[in-house]
Amino acid sequence: MRLRGQSVTWYITLIGFLGIFSTTISKNPVLPLFIKGLGGQDYILGIIAAASPLAGILLSFPVGFIADEIGKRKLLIISACIFAIAPLLYLMVSEPLFLIPIRFFHGMATAIMMPVASAIIVGLFPEHKAEKLGIYSSATLFGRTLAPLFGGFIISYFAYMGNLMPYKIVYIIAFLFALPIVFFSLQIPKEVHVVHVAKVRITDMFFSLKQFLREGVLMSTALVDMATYFIYGVLEAYLPVYLLTKHVEPNLIGLLFSLQVISIALTKPFFGKLADRIDKRIQILVGIVMLMITTVLIYHISHYVLLMGVIILFGLGMSLTTIATSTYIAEHVDAHRQGTALGFLSALMDVGQTGGPFIIGFIVTFVSYQMGFYAAGSVALFSALFFFYHTVIKQYME
């Protein structure tokens, strides 16, 4: 059984790497260039870019609930098919607006895969779930890191072909990388899930959501995760622009983000193993406090080497927090609700990463970058206090 579990874990890890690689190479840096090549305006770019995370916000919770009811393997196969089909749809586009439904459709693949894959791993390794989730998460991060480099190389290499051909070749590559996902998803044995009902009722889903919202431990943990990705989205959107105002070279800005991603990817398996052995509340609180401090410090540091250190610490804080939140939630729900809980967590992650740049954008525009970074840090502080109250103080009082 353990051998089978290990095999399934590697299948899931490969699905995560290939899925995120395929969807990221379809977006970065090719999507804005493709839209411009089709004659799209800047405002259309913003609408199209929002379509994919919108799928995660709307679908992650329902997907998690459905996975608990009809089985995770079926949904994983559906996700794999979307990963394979979606890149081909870009090849048929002649108008930028047609990319909106395509990006939403493509976003469905990730919205399904992330909570379902996590729930499968948690179910297989209840005693080592954080360590295994850390390996899986690192694989997705490596896919997210390599894809833009590979995509940019393809566009540059085939630039001589002119017109839209370099971009279409990227989407063909995305399709080829997605094909193995279908094969690996079919290797997942049916025994990894238990079928509960033949018919999924929407009233049951809303009842489950209502229960989740009422449980302070679960909500406070999910809010920490949302705050984490809120700050991450803010830095992703506004740190490059802020550093340009400080005359930092674009290649050095890119290096900072590479260091951030690498620090997260390399440490998640280690912090996952740590989370399996210590009180996860400590790890979550340490991580979110690190995020709060580093977010505020970024504005006050002008020396590039020191800034590199702060960015690495930010990555470590994010690694500490995100690997512990998912496993802490999984420990506080019944086995048949784990997909639902992780789906809700995934939805809030997308809300945070999408909402952060939108909300802080107003502060940056109408007040200052300093207040924008302070406001992002205050979100981390609020989530840490809310989490501490529900998981430590309230439990002690009871």
pTM: 0.82
Instruction: Give the model confidence (pLDDT) of 71-115 as tens digits.
Output: 888 899 999 999 999 999 999 999 999 999 999 999 999 999 999
Domain 1-188 matches domain 201-398 at the CATH topology level? yes
- Higher-confidence residue: 119 or 83? 83
Q: In the predicted model, what is the mean pLDDT of residues 355-374?
A: 90
List C-alpha distances in Å: 158 to 14, 72, 153, 229: 28, 40, 9, 35
d(CA 26, CA 333): 36
Superfamily of domain 201-398: MFS general substrate transporter like domains (1.20.1250.20)
d(CA 5, CA 142): 23
pLDDT score recorded for residue 3: 45
Token pair for residue 258? Answer: 């590479």
**Segments making up each domain of the chain, as ranges:** 1-188, 201-398
CA distance readout (Å), 70 to 60, 190, 201, 237: 15, 11, 11, 38
- Tell me the pLDDT of the chain averaged across its residues: 87
The second-level CATH assignment, the architecture, of 1-188 is Up-down Bundle (1.20)
The phi, psi pair for 53, rounded to 5°, reads -65, -25
- Cα angle vertex 116, ends 110, 122, to 5°? 135
DSSP 92: T
- One-character DSSP codes across 279-318: -HHHHHHHHHHHHHHHHHHHHH---HHHHHHHHHHHHHHH
- Binned at pLDDT 50, 70 and 90, residue 32 comes out as confident
Tens digits of per-residue pLDDT, 142-182? 998 888 888 888 998 998 897 899 999 999 999 999 999 99
What is the 8-class DSSP label of residue 190?
G
Mean pLDDT for 21-46 is 86
